[in-house]
Structure 1
Amino acid sequence: MATSTQTPVRFGIIGCADIARKLCRAIDLAPNAVLSAVASRSLEKAASFARANNCSTEVKIYGSYEGVIEDPTIDAIYLPLPTSLHVKWALKVAQSKKHLLMEKPVAMNVQKFDEIAKACEENGVQFMDGTMWVHHPRNAKMREFLDDTELFGQLKRIHTYFSFASGDDFLKNDIRVKPDLDGLGSLGDTGWYCIRAILWAADYELPKTVTALPGPVLNEAGVILSCGASLHWEDGKVATLHCSFLESLTMDITATGTKGTLHVHDFVIPFQENEASFSTGAKCFFNDLVTGWTPLPSEHTVITDLPQEVRMVREFSCLVGDIKNGAKPESKWPIISRKTQIILDAVKTSIEKDLTPVTVEW
């Protein structure tokens, strides 16, 4: 890990999507990063974004994506463009020897993902997708519980759920419901988080099969608005996920073992920025009169000095700093992203094939 004395990593942002506002702030708050440039397809839009986000007057403004990519002072690019544009611009970023932090879903399918990963590997640049919640310190504490064979036992079942109720304007005009922009819909958006949570709980072991659940909802253009799936492992583990643009805001993880259970109710975005909680039950059963539980499940709260998206930027910047000092890019992040993409592809394929099981292959 790079030291805190490293020269700050100089970021450029390509595209002024809403999520870029959050990363603009995160880069500003990260101790080892600095925002150096903002690019949009028009100079006016890039300048407006910089003003709205109180960017320093030293931040360069570009009216084309190529401008920031070709800027020799930029170390890394944050890329929040629509998924259909990821391959084109990610390849340009990697080929310019700039490190790549990009929004999820990474690609429309794993074949497109592999094009991006290959370009990053060949050019020696760090890749990381923008799944923020995995960088929260709560995750390390939850991992300790899942790995405790005395309290949690053997993992048997995982359930994840991420939905939010979008309005008519979103369902008609948002890029996430447009087949030519973010054509993976809720599966690529909320589903990506659910899949990542399942893989995280399973210590990133891929399942043997994936089967879409009955009742997927698609819009007139064929984009998924709501769907579910079940995942099955050779050792008997089972996971289910549900993702939707059509239901109340919910973001849950339940992981059940032979001895204990983990519950999280805000896994993607914590209820509060500076702390996050989870509950655990270990060896719980009924009391003698079956009027209550014993022992009671316990609540755990983890305080963080930096929001999860800032910790993500800090981690990414540390890796970039290490590479500047002669280290190789960290391979775990593209591997984790590829596994997520593989499961996403399998769910989509199962929906397209009338809910038939899809065998998962690396």
Structure 2
Amino acid sequence: MADPSAPIRFGIIGCADIARKLSRAINLTPNASLAAVGSRSSEKAAQFAAANNFPATSKVYGSYDAVLDDPEIDAVYLPLPTSLHVVWAVKAAEKKKHVLLEKPVAINAFEFDTIIEACERNGVQFMDGTMWMHHPRTSKIQEFLSDSENFGELKAVSSCFGFSVTPDFLENDIRTKPDLDGLGALGDVGWYCIRSILLATDFELPKFVTALPGTVFNKAGVILTCGASLHWEDGKVATFHCSFLQNLTMDVTFVGTNGTLHMHDFVIPYEENKASFSTGIKSGFNDLVTGWVPKPSEHTVMTDLPQECLMVREFSRLVADIENGAKPEIKWPAFSRKTQLTLDAVKESVYNDSKKVEIVN
């Protein structure tokens, strides 16, 4: 039986920019430790380790396989281009390494199912890198959305995530390359919009999706801006917009029969140690229709660790439990798969003149 007090030893495969954030998170998380980093060259891996405060005891490898072959590594974080996820996540699972995988998890649901089959076959934990799911604000939001008296029945969701990129990004970033991250803005920022919508529906998949007009592609055919509407059999509807060509925006609104909830920083909170949301309950106008009664209220949720640390902490807890005889937690791959299925349907509609695309689980 493994020592339950021992930190989970992480190997990082690849030196992408997002890996800097996760390296810091692992360093700050009590039940995790940075044990190794692998890159396509040992020089690059060594530079990354030095720049990101890896412990002196950590190992530096000049290949991804070397990290997976290290018997002292418990889990790996994979921030590789999406097109490489299926190869390296499967290899990691086959080496009995638990898998924390950056989003989007795969190019399509078929590839994701290949990853999950490998994880299930080898008894390892899978989790994607949707960090905001682990912030305590998210659980507070779920409480409000499930409150039948104050929120009521969900009717609509509107989600928007976009940011403005540089000309160099548009020309050289992997998220604009069809052979590396061919999902473009839909995979990078649309993933978060879709996840926020599914959170509100308690992960009930929509019946069908339809891409909205106005998609912008680059010259290689990769999505830079797009949107879609999502529809459920009971009449719920959601819309989202995602883009690399707009000012930074991270808004989501949930509308129920009795209440409304707003967030303006749902992916990355304005501050690391706290995050807010506002709620309006049974809102109306005053007698002269010059103001709201009652006014919406602001709610602030404090946290002792940044949300990426909370993700690492939860993942590490699950890994430790498995090492001591528990089964992998199945909800995290289920959330990932439903997000991927919805994303696939939106992509199909985008590239087929906004045709209606039904989702089959």
Normalised TM-score (structure 2): 0.99
Q: For 1:181-222, what per-residue CA distance to the aligned partner results, in whole angstroms no more than 9, with x for missing partners?
A: 001000000000000000001110000001100010000100
Query: 2:132 maps to what in 1?
Result: 133
Query: 1:265 maps to what in 2?
Result: 264
Paired residues for 1:305-320 under 5 Å = 305-320=304-319
Deviation at 1:353, TM superposition (A): 1.2
Q: For 1:85-138, what per-residue CA distance to the aligned partner results, in whole angstroms no more than 9, with x for missing partners?
A: 111111110000000001000100000111001000000000000000000000
Match of 1:47, as an amino acid? Answer: A
> 1:295 and 1:5 mapped to 2: Cα distance?
50
Paired residues for 1:156-171 under 5 Å = 156-171=155-170
Q: For 1:251-273, what per-residue CA distance to the aligned partner results, in whole angstroms no more than 9, with x for missing partners?
A: 01100000110000000000000
2:192 is equivalent to residue 181 of structure 1: no
Match of 2:20, as an amino acid? Answer: R
Query: 1:214 maps to what in 2?
Result: 213
> 2:338 and 2:149 mapped to 1: Cα distance?
29
> What SS class does the counterpart of residue 181 from structure 2 fall into?
coil
Match of 2:232, as an amino acid? Answer: W
Query: 1:302 maps to what in 2?
Result: 301
Query: 2:22 maps to what in 1?
Result: 23
Q: For 1:50-107, what per-residue CA distance to the aligned partner results, in whole angstroms no more than 9, with x for missing partners?
A: 1111211111000000110000000000000000111111111000000000100010
Q: For 1:337-358, what per-residue CA distance to the aligned partner results, in whole angstroms no more than 9, with x for missing partners?
A: 0000000000000011110110
Match of 2:37, as an amino acid? Answer: V
Deviation at 1:5, TM superposition (A): 5.3
Query: How many aligned residue pairs are there?
Result: 360
Match of 2:328, as an amino acid? Answer: P
> 1:137 and 1:6 mapped to 2: Cα distance?
24
Query: 1:255 maps to what in 2?
Result: 254
Deviation at 1:6, TM superposition (A): 2.4
The percent of aligned pairs where both chains have the same amino acid is: 69
> 1:56 and 1:361 mapped to 2: Cα distance?
46
Pairwise CA RMSD: 1.0
> What SS class does the counterpart of residue 178 from structure 2 fall into?
coil
Paired residues for 1:76-155 under 5 Å = 76-155=75-154
Query: Would you say the 8 A contact 2:4–2:320 is kept in 1?
Result: no
Deviation at 1:309, TM superposition (A): 0.2
2:60 is equivalent to residue 61 of structure 1: yes
> 2:288 and 2:4 mapped to 1: Cα distance?
61
> 2:135 and 2:143 mapped to 1: Cα distance?
14
> 1:122 and 1:260 mapped to 2: Cα distance?
44
> What SS class does the counterpart of residue 271 from structure 2 fall into?
coil
Q: For 1:307-362, what per-residue CA distance to the aligned partner results, in whole angstroms no more than 9, with x for missing partners?
A: 00000000000000110110110000001000000000000000111101100100
Query: Would you say the 8 A contact 2:206–2:359 is kept in 1?
Result: yes
> 1:349 and 1:229 mapped to 2: Cα distance?
11
Match of 1:194, as an amino acid? Answer: C
Normalised TM-score (structure 1): 0.98
> What SS class does the counterpart of residue 255 from structure 2 fall into?
strand
> 2:186 and 2:134 mapped to 1: Cα distance?
22
> 1:85 and 1:325 mapped to 2: Cα distance?
31
Match of 2:60, as an amino acid? Answer: I
Match of 2:165, as an amino acid? Answer: S
What are structure 1's unaligned runs of at least 5 residues?
Answer: none
